[in-house]
Amino acid sequence: MTITTSLKDRVALVTGASRGIGAAIADMLGEQGATVIGTSTSEAGADKISQRFADKGITGTGRVLDVTSADSVASLLEGIKAEFGAPTILVNNAGITKDNLLMRMKDDEWASVLETNLTAVYRVSKACLRDMTKARWGRIINISSVVGSMGNAGQSNYAATKAGVAGFGRSLAAEVGSRGITVNTVAPGFIDTDMTKVLPEAQREALMGKIPLGRLGAPEEIASVVAFLASEAGGYVTGETIHVNGGMYMA
Amino acid sequence: MSSIEERVKKIVAEQLGVKEEDVKPEASFVEDLGADSLDTVELVMALEEEFETEIPDEEAEKITTVQLAIDYIKENLG
């Protein structure tokens, strides 16, 4: 049995691909040979993705997507199918944080984080599933967080969505396994991105002391796990949550 | 152009991996043709594509046999 990590002839959709972990994932899938559509909430972000792909010789494009809008998802997929063919690799990466202590949390802070981080995963996965079942092949990879497993004060909304995504993934994996579709969750720990740069220095120091590997992770170290799951090499892994956190939390 | 009956039977046979001669009008997708719940969802999607229509979920749930599928298509597209 020959097993390959090549993604040649695959079309991959990566949400939230203009920076951070999503950008690294989109680039790595492209470097493995996939045609990649990376999304951003803004026109400028989408252009940045297209430019990055062009610079790196990756086939694909940046597109604008509002993951909270069913119409936006539908029109994006229509466009992708017409231009590149239906995506059979989906990476639900787009996510936001609106941290607050629960007693101070506004309804909007709760609702918007749920909408973008959890409901959007349902929405985009559903939109892609029809073509994956037809193809009898598919990969759905949801980006969660270590916070979904270990919890973090001030992030009850974010943690609820990240734990939710893992449960969603296990159920969907059971549902569509018979069609050759795998569904997995990748849970990054403390990764060097814009999202973690905003943390106060003292909190960063404290976190660092809890990481056996003694350093932040690089976005590429998340991307390589996603690329593995997306390839034939990861074909027998499904319904799983893979923690990538330098040992900060061992499940 | 094939009749609606023929087109429906062909799709059922393809989707469920059964022989066309086994696709009798009274055959139930689940009990006689071995479909699971996901198969029935895919079957409805295939019918939607073949007949270029959208079958609402509450109607789709009632389509449990070959004849019911043929009837639905005839009533709604005839």
* ipTM attached to this prediction: 0.77
B2-75 to CATH, choices 3.90.230.10, 1.10.10.410, 3.30.2290.10, 1.10.1200.10: 1.10.1200.10
What are A64-102's pLDDT values in tens digits? 999 999 999 999 999 999 999 999 999 999 999 999 999
- Confidence (pTM): 0.92
Q: Is the pLDDT of residue B1 over 70?
A: no
- Neighbouring residues of A108: CB distance < 8 A, sequence distance ≥ 6: none
Give the other-Cβ count within 10 Å of A229's Cβ: 24
Inter-chain CB proximity A133 and B36 less than 8 Å: no
What are A216-237's pLDDT values in tens digits? 999 999 999 999 999 999 999 9
Catalytic-residue membership of A158:
yes
Yes or no: say if A119 and A68 are a contact pair by the CB < 8 Å rule. yes
Residues of A in contact with B42 (CB under 8 A): 133
Q: What is the interface size between A and B, counted as CB pairs within 8 Å? A: 8
Burial A5-42 (b: 16+ CB within 10 A, else e): eebeebbbbbbbbbbbbbbbbbbbbbebbbbbbbbbbe
Yes or no: say if A123 and A141 are a contact pair by the CB < 8 Å rule. no
- Does B45 contact A at CB distance below 8 Å? yes
Cα gap A206→A119, rounded to integer Å: 32
What are A95-135's pLDDT values in tens digits? 999 999 999 999 999 999 999 999 999 999 999 999 999 99
- Does B22 contact A at CB distance below 8 Å? no
Domain segments of chain B: what residues?
Answer: 2-75
Length of chain A counted residue by residue: 251
> Band of the pLDDT at A62, cuts 50, 70, 90?
very high
Residue A202 pLDDT:
87
Cα gap A190→A204, rounded to integer Å: 9
